[in-house]
Amino acid sequence: MVKQNKAGTEAGETKIPQTGASPGTGEETTATTETNSAASGAPYAPKNGAIIKTNFGDIEVVFFGADAPKTVENFQKLAESGFYANTKFHRVIKNFMIQGGDPFSKDNTQMARWGTGGPGYTFEDEINAQKVVRGALAMANAGPNTNGSQFFIVTVQATPWLDGLHTVFGQVTRGMDVVDKISMTDTVTNDIPKSPVIIESIILK
C-alpha cells in the first residue's frame, strides 16, 4: 500500500491508497528537491519510454528497465495490448500523486470498485535504488508483492515514507505540467476527479 503525505496539512494525518490501494501519505518532508536519474549505468527495457496520452495532455516517461525489468515488461505488454486505453486516473490527491491503471475505471457503473481492479494476476516487487520523488512512475499495491496494473506519478518533491514500499520503474521526462494540472483537479469521494481524467492510450517509443 502507499501512504499519502498531505503537504501543508496537519502532521500525522495519513491515508493508505492501494490497488484495492493507492499511494499513501506519511510524515511531512523538507522542501529538498530530488530527481531520479534515467541514467543508472545499465540498458533500459526493449522500449525506452512511452507517451501517456490523456484528455488533459500528453505525459512522456522513460523506463528504468535495468532497475525493474519485470515491472517494465508488464507495463509495456499491458500498454501494447490496449489494456490501459480509456481507463482513468481514478485517484487524484493534490500535493501528492495521481493514480491510474484500474480496468474498472472504464465503466462508471463500477465506480464503487475503482481502485480494486487489475490484470487478473499479481507479481513481485522490484525495489531498487530509485526514489519515490517528483515525477516518479511507480506501482501502486495492496502490500508486498501485489503489483498488477495500477501505477501512480508523484507530484511532490520527495516521499521518503514510500521508498522501499513501491517499485519505481520510470520517470516523467516531459509533461509534468500536465501531471500537475491533473493533480489539482477537484475531487469527490475517494479522491475521484469530478471531471474524468481519461488515459486515451499509451504509446511505447
The CATH number that applies at residue 52 is 2.40.100.10
pLDDT at position 8 is 31
Is-catalytic flag, 134? no
Is-catalytic flag, 174? no
Give the mean model confidence (pLDDT) for residues 152-161: 98
Is pLDDT above 80 for 22? no
CA gap 167, 157 in Å, rounded: 17
Query: Using one digit for the tens of pLDDT, what is the confidence trace for 31-45?
Result: 444 556 554 444 444
CA gap 188, 115 in Å, rounded: 14
Whether the Cβ atoms of residue 96 and residue 154 lie closer than 8 Å to each other: yes
Is-catalytic flag, 166? yes
In a domain, 120, yes or no: yes
Is-catalytic flag, 90? no
Is-catalytic flag, 91? yes
In a domain, 12, yes or no: no
Residue keyed to cell 506519511: 26
Is pLDDT above 80 for 93? yes
Is-catalytic flag, 141? yes
The residue annotated as part of the active site, out of 56, 75, 96, 169, is: 96
Write out the residue range of the structural domain in which residue 150 sits.
17-23+46-204
**Residue 126 C-alpha from the chain's centroid:** 15
CA gap 48, 95 in Å, rounded: 28
Query: Using one digit for the tens of pLDDT, what is the confidence trace for 183-202?
Result: 999 999 999 999 999 999 99
The residue annotated as part of the active site, out of 63, 75, 151, 152, is: 152
CA gap 76, 11 in Å, rounded: 38
What's the structural domain count of the chain? Answer: 1
Confidence of residue 71 (pLDDT cuts 50, 70, 90): very high
Average pLDDT over the chain, rounded to an integer: 86
CA gap 165, 142 in Å, rounded: 10
In a domain, 131, yes or no: yes
CA gap 115, 30 in Å, rounded: 29
In a domain, 29, yes or no: no
Is pLDDT above 90 for 10? no
In a domain, 2, yes or no: no
pLDDT at position 23 is 61
B/e letters for 43-58, b = 16+ CB within 10 Å, e = fewer, are ebbebbbbbbbbebee
201 backbone φψ class: left, alpha, beta (φ>0; ψ -120 to 50)? beta
In a domain, 142, yes or no: yes
Cell (9 digits) for 22: 493507492
pLDDT at position 62 is 98
Task: Give the rounded percent of residues in the chain with a pLDDT score beyond 70.
Answer: 78
DSSP string for residues in the chain = --BEE-TTS-TT-EE--BTTB--BB-S---S------S--SS---SS-EEEEEETTEEEEEEE-TTT-HHHHHHHHHHHHHTTTTTEEEEEEETTTEEEE--GGGG-GGGGGGTTS--SS--B-----S---BTTEEEE--SSTT-B-S-EEEE-SSB-TTTTTTS-EEEEEEE-HHHHHHHHTS-B-GGG-BSS--EEEEEEE-
In a domain, 146, yes or no: yes
The residue annotated as part of the active site, out of 76, 166, 169, 171, is: 166
In a domain, 143, yes or no: yes
Give the mean model confidence (pLDDT) for residues 123-148: 98
